[in-house]
Amino acid sequence: MSGLEDLFVRAAREGAAFRDGVGERPVAGTASREDAWAAFGGALPDGPTPASQVLDDLLAAAEGHLVGSVGPRYFGFVTGGSTPAAAAADILAVGWDQNSFNPLMSPAAEAAERAAGGWVKDLLGLPSGASVGFVTGAQAANTVGLACGRHQVLERAGYDVETDGLIGAPRVRVVSGFERHATVDRSLRLLGLGTASLIGVLTDDQGRIDVADLEKVLATEPERPTIVCLQAGNVNTGASDAFASAIPLAHEAGAWVHVDGAFGLWAASSPQRAHLVDGVERADSWATDAHKWLNVPYDSGLAIVRDPVVHGTSMAYSAAYLAGSGRTDFSLGDLVPDSSRRARGFAVWAALRELGRSGVADLVERCCLLAGRMAERLAEGGATIHNDVVLNQVLVGFGDTSLKDDDPSTRTDAIVEAVQRDGTCWLGATTWHDQRLIRISVSNATTTEADIDRSAAAILAAAARVGLG
């Protein structure tokens, strides 16, 4: 065995050992942040270090500082694990080290992205002719989709934003619900549109956009170039906007419609949940993650655009030395902000081939059922569930969860801290409609009913220790 092979095999073996044991480890890191800094810190070495020693040092430094986010009882943020085939494909991607900008640099990487992108469109019921860009995550995918919208609505107004920039451009308005995800605001800042371009639309008690208020907002200043940003999967409740009525309304007003579907868009893959996103295929662009519900290793997101020409025109790299410059058959690297980039398509391709259509549907449905089970177990123990558990998100409160201006700390935060310290599971807190609540997201392919029951018991025990049970 060569030195490189030995190094790769050992790294893979250590990674597999972590994965195999993650279900029995404390989910949170067991050491402090300061200890982690000390473990990885110190002066830059004066000279080279053998690769085998570097691996030893890395393993030692990371010990106690890794979070079990790949495991079955991590319910923080919206975090998936990674399927065996997807994880193995990502290891191969590191070994192959392909630059996936265009087919000249890696025919395999380009072919994997095109195949996987086509499968995703098929699975989610999106237009077969749409273009797909592989990006770091929904933040980047939202930025791409909104950049395409910026291009299109300004072009309709007779303005070339790619050439002339935004100085002197007609003022674009971005119409979105007040319960949108913060990544939308960040994308608007990155694109130079700014958050002042946002026009808020009222939402209901689950965070869904009020279509009547949307119609009212669109009727105001109808001459302004307009982007409407809708949501598939509210990050707190899991609820989705009424696409079947909102999208035609926006199109009648001449708006570009972008959907932030970081995790909720995957409801379309489940026969039991697809009705939640009915009509979403009528939008102009979509953002979603593979590293959430598809359970692909970080980082992996998808920017999907109905019109490939708009997509490519908005994002293309036009340097003269690049083959394909000035053409409409854009390379996949012309559809994303990055030029040189890792080959993310291998892991997505592997996950979809491993799971197949029925496997993805089963994964989504199982997570939704487990979220419902978590809500039932906690409610039986005295908790209040603050959302309709229609997807994989659960909002939980114990006792008085209202925020008090004179006391930023809450009982909820104390319970969350106790749960994290216990180590059985990991979850976080959120603020929702002036309530400080526990937020639980079930997104991992390996989570079982036993994991849910064990975690619910730990949460109830933590609440009791804090004095609420």
DSSP assignments along 392-412, one per residue: SEEEEE-S--B-BTTB---HH
Q: Of 109-118, 297-306, 365-374, 404-413, give the lowest mean pLDDT range.
A: 404-413
Q: Do 415 and 337 belong together in one domain?
A: no
223 and 283 share a domain?
yes
Express each pLDDT in 75-128 by its tens digit: 999 999 999 999 999 999 999 999 999 999 999 999 999 999 999 999 999 999
Residue 431 has pLDDT above 50, yes or no: yes
Q: Which two tokens stand for residue 371?
A: 């979220």
Question: pTM for this one?
Answer: 0.96
Q: Is 391 helix (H, G, I), strand (E, B) or coil?
A: coil
pLDDT band with cut points at 50, 70 and 90 for residue 403: confident
Task: Specify the pLDDT at position 406.
Answer: 53
Q: How many angstroms separate the Cα of 462 from the Cα of each of 366, 400, 447, 455?
A: 26, 16, 21, 11
- Which of 298, 333, 330, 293 is closest to 124 using CA atoms? 293
Q: Residue 44: inside a domain, yes or no?
A: no
Q: Is residue 51 part of a domain?
A: no
Please give the angle made by the CA atoms of 80, 85 and 88, to the nearest 5 degrees: 95
Q: Residue 227: which H helix or E strand, with range?
A: strand 226-231
pLDDT of residue 324: 45
- Same domain flag for 281 and 241: yes
**What is the distance between the alpha carbons of residues 130 and 109, in angstroms, rounded to a whole number?**
19
CB contact set of 45 (below 8 Å; sequence gap of 6+): none
Q: What is the DSSP letter of 266?
A: G
pLDDT at 408: 52
Decide: 392 and 236 in contact? Cβ < 8 Å.
no
Is residue 175 over pLDDT 80?
Answer: yes
Split at pLDDT 50, 70, 90, the class of 222 is very high
307/331 Cα distance (integer angstroms): 15
Q: What is the CATH number of the domain that holds 186?
A: 3.40.640.10
**Where is pLDDT greater, at 325 or 429?**
429
Contacts of 149 by beta carbon, 8 Å cutoff, 6+ apart: 227, 256, 258, 284, 285
Examine residue 196 and state whether it is found in any structural domain, yes or no: yes
Q: Please give the pLDDT value at position 40.
A: 97
Q: Same domain, yes or no, for 1 and 136?
A: no
Residue ranges of alpha helices (H) inside 22-137 are: 33-40, 51-62, 84-96, 107-124
Q: Is 45 a domain residue? A: no
pLDDT surpassing 50 at residue 323: no
- Whole-number Cα distances in Å, 340 to 101, 105, 466: 6, 10, 50
Task: Determine the 3-state secondary structure of 384 from DSSP.
Answer: strand
Q: What span, in angstroms and rounded, lies between the C-alpha atoms of 199 and 217?
A: 8
- To the nearest whole percent, how much of the chain has pLDDT over 90? 91
C-alpha closest to that of 101 among 322, 349, 339: 339
pLDDT of 352 above 90: yes
Residue 278 lies in a domain: yes
Q: Is the domain of 377 the same as that of 466?
A: yes
Least confident of 77-86, 241-250, 317-326, 384-393: 317-326
Together in a domain, 272 and 237: yes
Q: Is-contact 36 29, C-beta < 8 A?
A: yes
36: three-class secondary structure by DSSP = helix
> Do residues 326 and 440 both lie within one domain?
no
Whole-number pLDDT of residue 400: 87
In terms of Cα–Cα distance, which of 246, 245, 242, 238 is closest to 267? 238
Q: What is the pLDDT of residue 321?
A: 43
| Local structure of residue 232 (DSSP, 8 states) | B
Residue 297 and residue 436 share a domain: no
φ, ψ for residue 231, nearest 5 deg? -135, 130
Are 172 and 226 in contact by the 8 Å Cβ rule? The answer is: yes
What pLDDT score does 404 carry? 75
Q: What single letter denotes the amino acid at residue 141?
A: A
Burial 407-416 (b: 16+ CB within 10 A, else e): eeebbbebbb
If asked whether residues 242 and 282 sit together in one domain, one would say yes
Could you tell me if 311 and 363 lie in one domain? no
Report the mean per-residue pLDDT for the chain: 95
Mean pLDDT for 154-163 is 96
Is 286:258 a contact under the CB 8 Å cutoff? yes
Instruction: Answer yes or no: is 372 within a domain.
Output: yes
Widest CA span in the chain: 70
Query: Would the CA dihedral through 353, 357, 363, 364 be positive or negative?
Result: positive
The number of helix segments (H) and strand segments (E) in the chain equals 14, 11
Residues 6 or more apart whose CB falls under 8 angstroms from that of 78 comprise 235, 262, 263, 289, 292, 293, 392, 393, 441, 443
Domain boundary among 316, 343, 370: 343
- CA–CA gap between residue 164 and residue 421 (Å, rounded): 54
CATH number where 435 lies: 3.90.1150.170
Residue 219 CB partners (closer than 8 Å, separation 6+): 253
Residue 350 maps to a domain: no
Q: In this structure, are 332 and 383 located in the same domain?
A: no
Its domain, for residue 329, covers: 99-343
What band does 328 get if pLDDT is binned at 50, 70 and 90? Answer: low
CA gap 171, 225 in Å, rounded? 7
CA pair distance 113, 96, nearest whole angstrom: 15
Show the tokens assigned to 54: 């570097």
Q: Examine the domain organization and report whether 77 and 118 are in the same domain.
A: no
In a domain, 50, yes or no: no
Number of structural domains found in the chain: 2
pLDDT of residue 297 exceeding 70: yes
Residue type, 464: A
pLDDT over 90 at 1, yes or no: no
